[in-house]
């Protein structure tokens, strides 16, 4: 069973339906035991970074999530669930993240060089694949994925980056390390290639 972590932030049902569409069983849950018993764990998220961290703490989910990662379970972070893996975010002040991946989350410049950017970055954009973990197997370089975000991650160790996306300048749009794959884009909203990522993740052991 794939556990989709429910902390009142995000499009949980669409993530669940994406897994079911490719033949994987998935349950939306905030039960620590269900997360501990799951074969795979997914941390989605839409909203403000600080609010999301407060909700994870409020529902007692920080420890179950970090334990699942430490136990080596296949782990997928999506959008804000990707950003929460990092040490801190500058969204509406400075907020502490889960600290699983060293680095920070910063805002796109809305009127800076090299281009005047519309923020949030919203819509379809291409991913340039720099390294290909199993989750990206069969996904073509340059595939278009769906993004909605105003902030992006800056890992301390750029070796964790899998894909880059250009929005005024290149930014890290997905990372992989050990059992973790996490992405800024929404695979559940990214049609065929996004569903390929969902299918590949669900097939990991």
Tell which residue, 177, 11, 39, 29, has the closest CA to residue 103. 177
Which structure tokens are listed for 72?
């080596």
Question: Tell me, what's the pLDDT at 62?
Answer: 98
Which structure tokens are listed for 97?
């993240």
Question: Tell me, what's the pLDDT at 11?
Answer: 81
Domains of the chain: 2-202 (3.40.50.880)
| pLDDT tens by residue, 76-94 | 999 999 999 999 999 999 9
Task: Indicate if 188 belongs to the active site.
Answer: yes
What confidence tier does 10 reach under pLDDT thresholds 50, 70, 90? confident
What confidence tier does 109 reach under pLDDT thresholds 50, 70, 90? confident
Task: Indicate if 186 belongs to the active site.
Answer: yes
| pLDDT tens by residue, 51-79 | 999 999 999 999 999 999 999 999 999 99
What confidence tier does 128 reach under pLDDT thresholds 50, 70, 90? very high
Question: Tell me, what's the pLDDT at 114?
Answer: 53
The single residue of 79, 91, 149, 162 carrying the catalytic annotation is 79
Q: Which helix (H) or strand (E) holds 153?
A: strand 151-155
The single residue of 24, 95, 162, 188 carrying the catalytic annotation is 188
Which structure tokens are listed for 119?
């923020």
* Out of 8-17, 66-75, 127-136, 162-171, least confident range: 8-17
- DSSP bridge partners of 40: 2
What confidence tier does 112 reach under pLDDT thresholds 50, 70, 90? low
* Ramachandran assignment for 92, one of left (phi > 0), alpha (psi -120 to 50 degrees), beta (any other): left
Q: Which residues of 34-63 are buried (b: 16+ CB within 10 A; e: fewer)?
A: bbeebebbbbbbbebbbbbbebbeebebee
Place of tokens 């074969």: 39
Cα 152 to Cα 3, 41, 76, 140, 182, distances in angstroms: 25, 22, 17, 23, 12
What confidence tier does 113 reach under pLDDT thresholds 50, 70, 90? low
């Amino acid at each position: 069973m794939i556990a989709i972590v429910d902390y009142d932030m995000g499009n949980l049902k669409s993530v669940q339906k994406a897994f079911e569409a490719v033949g994987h069983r998935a349950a939306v849950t905030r039960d620590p035991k269900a997360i501990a018993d799951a074969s795979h764990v997914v941390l989605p998220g839409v909203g403000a970074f600080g609010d999301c961290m407060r909700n994870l703490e409020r529902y007692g989910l920080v420890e179950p999530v970090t334990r699942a990662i430490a136990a080596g379970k296949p782990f997928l972070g999506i959008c804000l669930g990707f950003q929460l893996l990092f040490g801190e975010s500058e969204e509406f002040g400075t907020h502490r993240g889960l600290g699983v991946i060293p680095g920070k989350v910063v805002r796109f410049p809305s009127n800076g060089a090299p281009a005047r950017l519309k923020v949030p970055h919203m819509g379809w954009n291409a991913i340039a694949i720099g390294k290909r973990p199993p989750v990206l197997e069969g996904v073509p370089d340059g595939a278009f994925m769906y993004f909605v975000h105003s902030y992006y991650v800056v890992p301390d160790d750029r070796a964790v980056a899998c894909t880059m996306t250009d929005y005024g300048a290149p930014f890290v749009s997905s990372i992989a390390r050990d059992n973790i794959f996490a992405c800024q884009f929404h695979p559940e909203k990214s049609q065929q290639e996004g569903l390929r990522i969902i299918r590949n993740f669900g097939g990991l052991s």
